[in-house]
Structure 1
Amino acid sequence: MHGHHGDHGHRHHHAPAPGSATRTFAIITLVNLAYTVLEAAYGFMVNSLALLSDALHNLGDVLGLAMAWGAAVIAQWPATERHTYGWRRATLLSPLANAVLLVGLSGALAWEALRRMGAPPEVPGMTIIVVASIGIAVNLGTALMVRGGHGHDLNRRGAYLHLMADAAISLATVVAGAGMLAWGWAWLDPATALLVGVVVAVGAIGLLRDSFNAAMDAVPPGIDTAEVRDFIAGQPGVASVHHLHIWSLGAGGVAMTAHLVRPQGDDDDDFMHAIGEALQARFGINHATLQVERGGGACHCHAHG
């Protein structure tokens, strides 16, 4: 006996429909991309690694914002006979390329920063202060755009925290520019670049780990498989749970399949509806597929669990 919870209606939590959320992500992505191009251009013009490294960090967040924007759009694409889950899983693959790119670029910048530490070139401190100050304004302004509801919307929360971190790094670049302007400390430029490069690399390695795990169908962060199993096993009439699998579908979708041994019960439809609602409310699992077995014999299913 099989049951699938959440095929239609309010029981499914998809990405938001095109509207204010999509427009917000579009605006902050384009604004931050424009600033990243501006900062990189000035970094090359004045030969400042501090500006270039900050631009690299902003580029990484622009890619992340673009993926959040894309998730809000792609999640609306309908499923097909070939892509029965739809297209949301593409958002699990793009972070892999993003992370690999950022690790490589941050490593190259860190190497150049170490090379310059011995004989740092003169860099105009005022240019760095002005450009980085624009970055503070851009990051704080766009962070305020996604602040509303960020406490319960993980998509918005991630964007908000990244933008606030960008503002802090831009502030550090302003301080470095002030030190160069006031005391002529040219070494502050490569030192700041090295610091930002480390921050970018650490974040990119974490992104690489998380995106790789998601692409390999790992259980999403924040969900404890043992806790889910115990919760299901504790439902009325359930004798045991096996073949439990939980994985991310991308764009807010979390899928789960499980076999339940339930020897007695003539209320399977109501039971599966209730347990599906509970799994969504408690664990965020919004694609639960349950197979109920009466336990009359051994399971001969060819599956792992």
Structure 2
Amino acid sequence: MGAGHSHGADDAHAARDHHHGDAGVRAFAWVTLLNLAYTVLEAAYGFATNSLALLSDAVHNLGDVLGLALAWGAATIARRAPTERHTYGWRRATLLSPLANAIVLAGFSGALAWEAVRRFSAPPEVPGIPVMIVAGIGIAVNLGAAKFMHGGHDDLNRRGAFLHLVADAAVSAAAVLAGAGMLAFGWRWLDPLTALLVGAVVAFSAFGLLRDSFAAAMDAVPRGLDPAQVHDFLAAQPGVSAVHHVHIWSLGAGEIAMTAHLIRPGQVDHDAFLDAVVVELDARFGINHPTLQIEHGAGCEHDLHDRAPHH
């Protein structure tokens, strides 16, 4: 015997998913276009002033634009309805996009670091005021774009975009300080140093995103969710004598799935029991796509392969 949601719960989740999906697609659209416009502006001024700090940040932002475009596409694809072949729909597209984004960013960070080290031996003359103005615009653009992404931290796709935009604002702030140092003291080395710091920030953010997105793609338990607590909760339910085959994974875009086998010998109230447990799993753990199999005894053909309680 298995169970998922009641029809009322399904309708509520469908309405919530549609609302969040619309908001997510609009957010990605605005953020992508806004960052693309700023990237073109920053690259133009970087070439005009021969500033590696601006050019490196422009390359960084170009990587973000590509990543945001992937995330935008993934958010759009994730709204497609389930089919007979893709029974969960296309939600997992939002897990693959951050993985590609992280790989692109890692490549850019290496290129930026190489060029920055090369320029330390003979840093060119860079005017400080244009660097400060353009970087200051970057702070406003990135913080404004991050606001569109705020509130979607249960969605790895949006969380990746949000963290990148906040990091970009910090990088732009460093460029403003570098421009001020070059203007006030003539410290040419601040330009390649800033570019090197940009590469370090990109590498750090790319590593974290790569780790989380790879884990999600490999069906790891979502971060912040303790499977031992879920197991203990199920084991403490009325009539449950044992729990096994507990599997928890992300479907993408804030959707968490779970399967579990519950042994309830001699019980007859399974429908009411399942309805109550499903509601509580969502309320306590955010698990909104559970499938629970009720067994009356200990005989399960897969027990030899998966007998551990999954603590």
Whether TM exceeds 0.5 here: the answer is yes
Note closer, same or farther for the CA distance 1:230–1:64 as it changes in structure 2 (3 Å cut): farther
Q: Where does residue 253 of structure 2 map in the other structure?
A: 251
Amino acid at match of 2:198: V
Q: Where does residue 216 of structure 2 map in the other structure?
A: 214
Deviation at 1:67, TM superposition (A): 5.1
2 CA distance for matches of 1:114 and 1:15? 48
Deviations 1:223-277 (A, max 9, x none): 1111110111111111111011111111111111110111132111111111111
Local SS of the residue matching 1:241: strand
Q: Where does residue 57 of structure 2 map in the other structure?
A: 54
Match of 2:115 among 112, 115, 118: 112
* Cα RMSD, aligned residues only: 2.6
Deviations 1:59-94 (A, max 9, x none): 444455445544543332101111111011112112
Q: Where does residue 188 of structure 1 map in the other structure?
A: 190
Match of 1:139 among 138, 142, 150: 142
Amino acid at match of 2:32: T
Higher-RCO chain (CA-CA 8 Å, sequence separation at least 6): 1
Q: Is 1:17–1:72's contact at 8 Å kept on the other side of the alignment?
A: no
Note closer, same or farther for the CA distance 1:100–1:159 as it changes in structure 2 (3 Å cut): closer
Q: For 1:89-108, list aligned pairs within 5 A.
A: 89-108=92-111
Deviations 1:162-197 (A, max 9, x none): 434322221110110111122211100000011111
Q: Is 1:14–1:252's contact at 8 Å kept on the other side of the alignment?
A: no
1 CA distance for matches of 2:24 and 2:75? 8
Note closer, same or farther for the CA distance 1:27–1:235 as it changes in structure 2 (3 Å cut): same
| 2:39 maps to 1:36 | yes
| 2:269 maps to 1:264 | no
2 CA distance for matches of 1:150 and 1:4? 25
Note closer, same or farther for the CA distance 1:271–1:81 as it changes in structure 2 (3 Å cut): same
Note closer, same or farther for the CA distance 1:63–1:16 as it changes in structure 2 (3 Å cut): farther
2 CA distance for matches of 1:97 and 1:200? 14
Local SS of the residue matching 2:119: helix
2 CA distance for matches of 1:157 and 1:111? 29
Task: Return the TM-score normalized by structure 2.
Answer: 0.87
Q: Is 2:78–2:93's contact at 8 Å kept on the other side of the alignment?
A: no
Deviation at 1:290, TM superposition (A): 0.6
Match of 1:171 among 170, 173, 176: 173
Local SS of the residue matching 2:47: helix
Q: Is 2:154–2:254's contact at 8 Å kept on the other side of the alignment?
A: no
Amino acid at match of 1:93: L
Deviations 1:80-112 (A, max 9, x none): 111111011112112222111111110111011
Q: Where does residue 202 of structure 2 map in the other structure?
A: 200
Amino acid at match of 1:107: G
Note closer, same or farther for the CA distance 1:155–1:180 as it changes in structure 2 (3 Å cut): same
Local SS of the residue matching 2:122: coil
Local SS of the residue matching 2:3: strand
Deviation at 1:40, TM superposition (A): 2.5
Unpaired segments ≥5 residues, structure 1: none
Q: Is 1:53–1:106's contact at 8 Å kept on the other side of the alignment?
A: no
Q: Where does residue 25 of structure 2 map in the other structure?
A: 22
Local SS of the residue matching 2:139: helix
Note closer, same or farther for the CA distance 1:146–1:63 as it changes in structure 2 (3 Å cut): same
Q: Is 1:53–1:196's contact at 8 Å kept on the other side of the alignment?
A: yes
Note closer, same or farther for the CA distance 1:289–1:166 as it changes in structure 2 (3 Å cut): same
Amino acid at match of 2:280: A
The share of aligned pairs that are identical, in percent, is 66
Amino acid at match of 1:298: G
Task: Return the TM-score normalized by structure 1.
Answer: 0.89
Q: Is 1:109–1:194's contact at 8 Å kept on the other side of the alignment?
A: yes
Deviation at 1:38, TM superposition (A): 2.0
Amino acid at match of 2:251: L
Q: Where does residue 279 of structure 1 map in the other structure?
A: 281
Q: Where does residue 5 of structure 2 map in the other structure?
A: 5
Amino acid at match of 1:110: A
Q: Is 2:5–2:278's contact at 8 Å kept on the other side of the alignment?
A: yes
